[in-house]
């Protein structure tokens, strides 16, 4: 309301009876009565450590390394995840599989999850679907170095979160294959 | 001997009132958080005890065992004095609040009044005087902390409390004119015989009542007038540098002040312990000797109504801007209170013509 034009009588009455404030107080009281007296309304908040929110299947949590159903690692040490990572989380040190010169694997695999932005580009980049995002998020630690996960920890994450594993199919002769499985077989959504 | 009995009875009354007030203070902190969360679709404290009812004890223990920090640039004496200056005036006001009927009791030949600690004939004036001292606690605490936020909060509190104290004083003058006494006991007694005899309705002190309630919220530095604390602007205002028990004293002072202004509002405008009906319900039921129980219950209900109103307003309204606060206090409430005094006195003069 501009101050130039004179106020109408109804506006004056509203001002002197605190009409707008009473409308607001009615709103809060309505919620209060619905919560306490009528019991028709529930709190929107969760008692977090005791009850947790249902997460969607596509939730981007901690990243895990996966295995095939014969418990061999999927990762072929190609370094594409390291190249895709925008915040340089991943360090891959790959090596030849002993006795099979055309096959490679990740001798060491580190993820500094303290830097991870959970963009999922590494999962997209992986040609053998060796990476997956879990729904784990309760990873507070006292020392940030504890968030630099090694290969064993990442594989344990995968074992914990994806109990059903992909079947290993050798597409080509094991001596000449480089990537041994097709792409984009994402882990099942309901796991 | 008589003096000793009198002093003993007074000490017992003081202890009772202090225990009740401090327990109420403790559980008001919980009640406030619960009521606010219920109005805001939250749950409030739920961890300590069933539905969080032991939260005040946990809070008290935590504050008690916290490290007591005095900032290096602070004025040690005033920094320590400010919480005491804040909490003592808040608690001392309860001395003149009548929380039950004006009965007299004989113990070993000494006449005492069991439902008021002391019935001095300037009761309301005494409360107003001590409430003003409470402002010193805030101002000195803000200044002695040697912190910009504290100083700003203290200055805001000074201006605000002084402005709104004036309105409180003027708002209750209408009631004082009607009752013809400054004694809280006499004011409460004068409103007997049903709610149409209360000064709010019977004395038509509606304007005075509204001005008093708004000013009381401002006087206790509560939302929407919490400019002195203003956590989104001034960290915690005058309490920024306080921790541990000193902070707990400020906290206690705030809630004790809330209870005090609620008691005053109940006594002055809603008849204090008086029943809203011509007689007490328990008298209709045939136990006239037990009517003091019902009187105390009525008083408690009225006080809690005001305390709930404080929470309700806090849940609803955002904080005023500083210039809005000052304009509202000086340009709206003060003229309203003055007009109320004028009209009440004129009407009383003509109605009570001999």
> What are the boundaries of each domain within chain B?
2-351
At A169, is the pLDDT very low, low, confident or very high (cuts 50, 70, 90)? low
What's the CA gap between A56 and A38, in Å, rounded? 32
A36 touches chain B (CB under 8 A): yes
Check CB contact under 8 Å for B43 and A36.
no
Q: What region does B107 belong to: left with phi over 0, alpha with psi -120 to 50, or beta? A: beta
Q: Which of B244, B279, B291, B256 is CA-nearest to residue B115?
A: B291
Beta-sheet strand order (sheet of A90-97)? A90-97, A100-112, A148-149
**Each residue's pLDDT tens digit, B163-220:** 888 899 898 888 888 888 888 888 888 887 777 778 877 777 888 888 999 998 888 8
Q: Specify the pLDDT at position B100.
A: 80
A7 touches chain B (CB under 8 A): no
At A182, is the pLDDT very low, low, confident or very high (cuts 50, 70, 90)? very low
At A175, is the pLDDT very low, low, confident or very high (cuts 50, 70, 90)? very low
What's the CA gap between B274 and B297, in Å, rounded? 10
Q: Which CATH code is given to the segment(s) A63-161?
A: 3.30.70.3270
> What are the boundaries of each domain within chain A?
1-43, 63-161
Check CB contact under 8 Å for B41 and A29.
no
Which chain A positions have a beta carbon within 8 Å of B315's beta carbon? Answer: 28
Q: Specify the pLDDT at position A176.
A: 44
Check CB contact under 8 Å for A31 and B43.
no
- Which pTM does this prediction carry? 0.80
Check CB contact under 8 Å for A41 and B315.
no
Among A18, A20, A28, the residue to mutate for chain B (most B Cβ within 10 A): A28
Helix axes B244-269, B291-316, angle to 10 degrees: 120
Which chain A positions have a beta carbon within 8 Å of B313's beta carbon? Answer: 25
Q: Report the gap between the CA of A143 and the closest CA in chain B (Å).
A: 26
Cis peptide before B167 (omega within 30 of 0): no
What's the CA gap between B108 and B280, in Å, rounded? 30
Q: Which of A155, A157, A125, A130 is CA-nearest to residue A75?
A: A130
What's the CA gap between B25 and B63, in Å, rounded? 15
Please report, for residues A128, A159, B297, B304, the alpha-carbon distance to residue A71 in angstroms, rounded to integers and kept in the order given.
Answer: 15, 10, 74, 67
The complex's ipTM works out to 0.76
Q: For residue B31, how far is the Cα from the chain centroid? A: 16
Q: Are B293 and B282 in contact (CB under 8 A)?
A: yes
Please report, for residues B84, B187, B233, B271, B304, the alpha-carbon distance to residue B194 in angstroms, rounded to integers and kept in the order given.
Answer: 41, 15, 47, 9, 20
At A68, is the pLDDT very low, low, confident or very high (cuts 50, 70, 90)? confident
**Each residue's pLDDT tens digit, B78-128:** 888 888 888 898 888 888 888 888 777 777 777 777 788 888 888 888 888
What's the CA gap between B277 and B195, in Å, rounded? 6
Check CB contact under 8 Å for A31 and B312.
no
Beta bridge pairs of residue A65: A131
Which chain B positions have a beta carbon within 8 Å of A35's beta carbon? Answer: 38-39, 41
Give the residue on A whose Cα is nearest the Cα of B51: A47
What's the CA gap between A90 and A77, in Å, rounded? 12
Q: Which single residue is written with the structure tokens 């919980």?
A: B30
């Amino acid at each position: 309301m501009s101050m130039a034009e004179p106020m109408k009588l109804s506006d004056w009455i509203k001002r002197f009876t605190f009409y707008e404030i009473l409308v607001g107080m009615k709103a809060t009281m309505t919620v209060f009565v619905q919560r306490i007296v009528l019991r028709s309304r529930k709190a929107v908040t969760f008692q977090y450590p005791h009850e947790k929110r249902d997460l969607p299947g596509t939730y981007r949590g901690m990243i895990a390394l996966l295995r095939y159903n014969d418990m061999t690692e999927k990762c072929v040490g190609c370094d594409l995840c390291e190249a895709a990572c925008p915040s340089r989380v991943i360090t891959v040190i790959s090596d030849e599989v002993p006795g099979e010169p055309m096959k490679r694997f990740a001798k060491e695999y580190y993820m500094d999850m303290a830097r991870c932005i959970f963009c999922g580009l590494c999962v997209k980049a992986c040609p053998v679907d060796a990476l997956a995002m879990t729904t784990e998020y309760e990873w507070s630690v006292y020392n940030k170095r504890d968030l630099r996960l090694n290969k064993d920890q990442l594989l344990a994450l995968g074992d914990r979160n994806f109990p059903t594993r992909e079947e290993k199919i050798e597409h080509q002769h094991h001596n000449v294959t480089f990537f041994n499985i097709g792409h984009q077989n994402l882990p099942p959504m309901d796991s | 001997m008589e003096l000793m009995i009198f002093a003993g009875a007074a000490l017992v009354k003081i202890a009772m009132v202090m225990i009740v007030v401090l327990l109420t203070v403790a559980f008001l902190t919980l009640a406030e958080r619960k009521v606010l969360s219920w109005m805001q679709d939250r749950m409030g404290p739920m961890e300590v005890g069933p539905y969080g009812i032991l939260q005040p004890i946990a809070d008290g223990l935590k504050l008690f065992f916290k490290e007591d920090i005095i900032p290096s640039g602070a004025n040690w004496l005033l920094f320590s004095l400010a919480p005491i200056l804040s909490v003592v005036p808040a608690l001392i006001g309860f001395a003149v609040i009548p929380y039950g009927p004006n009965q007299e009791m004989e113990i070993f030949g000494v006449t005492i009044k069991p439902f008021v600690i002391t019935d001095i004939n300037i009761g309301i004036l005494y409360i107003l005087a001590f409430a003003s001292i409470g402002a010193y606690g805030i101002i000195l605490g803000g200044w002695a902390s040697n912190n910009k936020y504290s100083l700003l909060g203290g200055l805001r509190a000074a201006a605000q409390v002084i402005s709104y104290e004036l309105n409180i004083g003027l708002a209750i003058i209408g009631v004082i004119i009607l009752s013809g006494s400054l004694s809280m006991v006499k004011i409460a007694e004068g409103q007997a015989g049903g709610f149409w005899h209360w000064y709010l309705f019977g004395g038509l002190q509606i304007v005075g009542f509204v001005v008093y309630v708004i000013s009381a919220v401002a006087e206790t530095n509560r939302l929407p007038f919490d400019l002195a604390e203003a956590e989104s602007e001034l960290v915690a205002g005058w309490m920024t540098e306080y921790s541990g028990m000193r902070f707990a004293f400020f906290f206690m002072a705030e809630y004790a002040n809330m209870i005090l202004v609620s008691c005053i509002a109940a006594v002055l405008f809603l008849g204090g312990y008086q029943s809203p009906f011509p007689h007490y319900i328990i008298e209709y039921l045939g136990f006239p000797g037990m009517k003091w129980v019902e009187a105390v219950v009525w008083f408690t209900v009225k006080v809690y109504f005001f305390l709930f109103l404080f929470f309700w307003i806090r849940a609803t309204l955002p904080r005023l801007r500083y210039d809005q606060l000052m304009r509202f206090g000086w340009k709206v409430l003060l003229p309203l209170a003055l007009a109320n005094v004028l009209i009440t006195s004129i009407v009383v003069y003509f109605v009570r013509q001999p």
